C-alpha cells in the first residue's frame, strides 16, 4: 500500500468521536477522515458535556472553557405539568455549541490527519483491506476503517446493520434562542411524548433540543404548532417559547433516532460515538460518551499490533461493553419512567422526599473522570 489514496486508518464521520480519534491516531498512523459537511456547522445535539471528559480534552489540546463554554453545576427537571426539582450535578459539566466544539477539534485534528469533505457511499472488505468509495468519485484504501457516522446514516443501511431494520418512533429538533437563562444550569422539561433540554452555549444563546415521538408530533401541522400546543402544556416550556427569540432561520431536525442496541464492531469496522450506541439524551452524557469511546478505541489501536485484527476487535468490543452497556440500560429505564406521567409523578414525589436520590441516579449514567 503505497499510493496517495492509501491510508492505515480511514475514519468515516468527522463529529466529536471521529475528530478525537483523528487527533489521537494521527500521531502514529497515516489517517484519513471523510465527512460530508464542511466546518464549522451546527448539529442536532443537547450541547451539554459532562466534566468527566474535560481533563482528557485539555490533555489533547482542546480547551472548551477558554473558548467561552459555560460552566454548569445545577440540574433542573420538571414534570409534564411543571413540578420542578433542582439539584446539583455530581461532576458538573459545560455548555458549548457543536458549531464551536467541532471546530476546535477539527483545527487540532488537521495537525495530525488528512480531512476531506466527501460523502462515503460504499465500504468493501477483501483480503484484509478496506476500499472506501465516495459520491465525489474517489476511492481510498486502508487496513482499518472506523465508523463515526453518528446516530443514523445511509451507511447503516448499506452495511445492513440490525438496528437499522427496525423503524424508530423518535425524532429530534434543535435550535438556538435568545432567552434569559442561568449560565450554570441545564434544565430538562418533560411534555407529552418527550422532553426538552435547555442550556447556555459559549455565544450566550440558549440551546433548546427536544426529543419526541412521531405519534405525539403528528397531532399538529408544524414545529411551531407542536411547541405551542403540546410542549407548552409544561409552564416552563410555555414561558420559554413565548419569550424566546429564535436565532436560526429554521430549527434543525433529525428523524429515525434509534436507541436500539448496536455492535461496537461490525463488518470489521470499529464503531465509535453514536454509531456504536446512543444513550437517551435525558441522561446528558451522549457527548462525553462519544469522546470517551474515541479515546478507548485509540488506546486499543495504539497499544496493539495492527496486524492482529481479531485481537483488536475482541479487545475493543469487551472494553466498550464494560464501559458503556450499563449506562445505556439505565438510560432506557429512566426514559421509560419519565414518559409515563403517572410513574413520573410518583418518582418526583419520592425524589422531593429524598433529595439525595437524583444525584445518585445521574451518577449511574455517567462514568469516572477520564484522563
Contact 177, 247 (CB under 8 A): yes
Nearest-angstrom CA–CA distance, 225 and 31: 46
Contact 84, 236 (CB under 8 A): yes
* pLDDT at res. 2: 46
CATH of domain 6-167+257-364: 3.50.50.60
Contact 241, 254 (CB under 8 A): no
Phi, psi of 81 (to 5 degrees): -100, 10
Coil/strand/helix, residue 49: strand
* pLDDT at res. 1: 44
| The Cα angle at residue 129 between residues 161 and 146, in degrees rounded to 5 | 45
* pLDDT at res. 146: 98
Nearest-angstrom CA–CA distance, 54 and 65: 9
Give domain limits for the chain.
6-167+257-364
* pLDDT at res. 344: 62
Q: What is the pLDDT of residues 169-227, one digit of tens each?
A: 889 999 999 999 999 999 999 998 889 999 999 999 999 999 998 888 888 988 999 99
- Model-level pTM? 0.92
What distances in angstroms separate CA 264 from CA 56, 196, 210, 221, 332, one per listed residue? 22, 28, 26, 38, 18
CA atoms within 13 A on the CB side of 246: 12
Write the CB contacts of 2 (distance below 8 Å, at least 6 apart in sequence). none
* pLDDT at res. 349: 65
Nearest-angstrom CA–CA distance, 302 and 8: 12
Q: What is the pLDDT of residues 269-307, one digit of tens each?
A: 999 999 998 887 666 678 999 999 999 999 999 987 788
Contact 172, 23 (CB under 8 A): no
Would you give per-residue pLDDT tens digits along the chain (371 residues)? 446 699 999 999 999 999 999 999 999 999 999 999 999 999 999 999 999 999 999 999 999 999 999 999 999 999 888 889 898 988 899 999 999 999 999 999 999 999 999 999 999 999 999 999 999 999 999 999 999 998 888 898 888 888 887 888 889 999 999 999 999 999 999 998 889 999 999 999 999 999 998 888 888 988 999 999 999 999 999 999 999 999 999 999 998 888 888 999 999 999 999 999 888 766 667 899 999 999 999 999 998 778 899 999 999 999 999 988 887 777 767 766 666 666 666 666 665 655 666 666 666 666 778 86
Coil/strand/helix, residue 171: strand
Nearest-angstrom CA–CA distance, 306 and 301: 7
Amino acid at each position: 500500500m503505497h499510493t496517495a489514496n492509501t491510508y492505515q486508518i480511514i475514519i468515516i464521520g468527522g463529529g466529536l468521536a471521529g475528530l478525537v480519534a483523528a487527533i489521537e491516531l494521527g500521531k502514529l498512523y497515516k489517517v484519513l477522515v471523510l465527512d460530508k459537511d464542511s466546518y464549522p456547522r451546527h448539529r442536532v445535539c443537547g450541547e451539554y458535556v459532562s466534566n468527566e471528559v474535560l481533563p482528557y480534552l485539555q490533555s489533547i489540546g482542546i480547551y472548551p472553557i477558554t473558548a467561552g463554554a459555560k460552566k454548569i453545576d445545577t440540574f433542573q427537571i420538571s414534570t409534564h405539568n411543571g413540578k420542578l426539582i433542582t439539584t446539583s450535578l455530581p461532576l458538573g459539566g459545560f455548555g458549548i455549541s457543536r458549531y464551536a466544539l467541532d471546530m476546535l477539534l477539527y483545527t487540532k485534528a488537521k495537525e495530525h490527519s488528512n480531512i476531506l469533505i466527501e460523502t462515503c457511499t460504499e465500504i468493501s472488505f477483501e483480503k484484509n483491506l478496506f476500499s472506501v468509495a465516495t459520491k465525489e468519485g474517489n476511492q481510498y484504501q486502508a487496513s482499518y476503517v472506523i465508523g463515526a457516522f453518528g446516530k443514523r446514516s445511509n451507511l447503516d443501511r448499506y452495511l445492513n446493520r440490525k438496528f437499522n431494520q427496525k423503524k424508530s418512533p423518535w425524532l429530534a429538533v434543535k435550535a438556538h434562542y435568545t432567552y434569559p437563562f442561568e449560565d450554570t444550569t441545564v434544565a430538562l422539561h418533560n411534555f407529552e411524548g418527550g422532553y426538552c433540554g435547555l442550556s447556555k452555549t459559549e455565544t450566550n444563546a440558549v440551546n433548546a433540543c427536544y426529543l419526541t415521538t412521531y405519534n405525539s408530533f403528528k397531532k399538529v401541522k408544524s414545529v411551531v404548532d407542536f411547541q405551542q400546543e403540546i410542549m407548552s402544556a409544561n409552564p416552563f416550556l410555555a414561558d420559554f417559547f413565548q419569550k424566546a427569540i429564535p436565532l436560526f432561520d429554521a430549527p434543525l431536525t433529525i428523524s429515525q433516532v434509534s436507541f436500539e442496541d448496536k455492535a461496537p464492531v461490525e463488518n470489521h469496522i470499529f464503531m465509535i460515538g453514536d454509531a456504536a450506541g446512543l444513550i437517551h439524551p435525558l441522561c446528558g452524557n451522549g457527548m462525553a460518551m462519544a469522546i470517551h469511546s474515541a479515546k478507548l478505541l485509540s488506546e486499543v489501536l495504539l497499544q496493539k499490533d495492527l496486524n492482529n485484527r481479531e485481537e483488536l476487535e475482541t479487545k475493543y468490543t469487551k472494553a466498550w461493553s464494560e464501559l458503556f452497556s450499563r449506562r445505556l440500560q439505565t438510560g432506557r429505564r429512566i426514559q421509560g419512567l419519565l414518559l409515563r406521567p403517572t410513574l413520573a409523578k410518583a418518582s418526583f414525589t419520592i425524589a422531593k422526599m429524598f433529595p439525595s436520590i437524583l444525584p445518585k441516579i445521574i451518577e449511574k449514567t455517567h462514568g469516572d473522570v477520564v484522563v
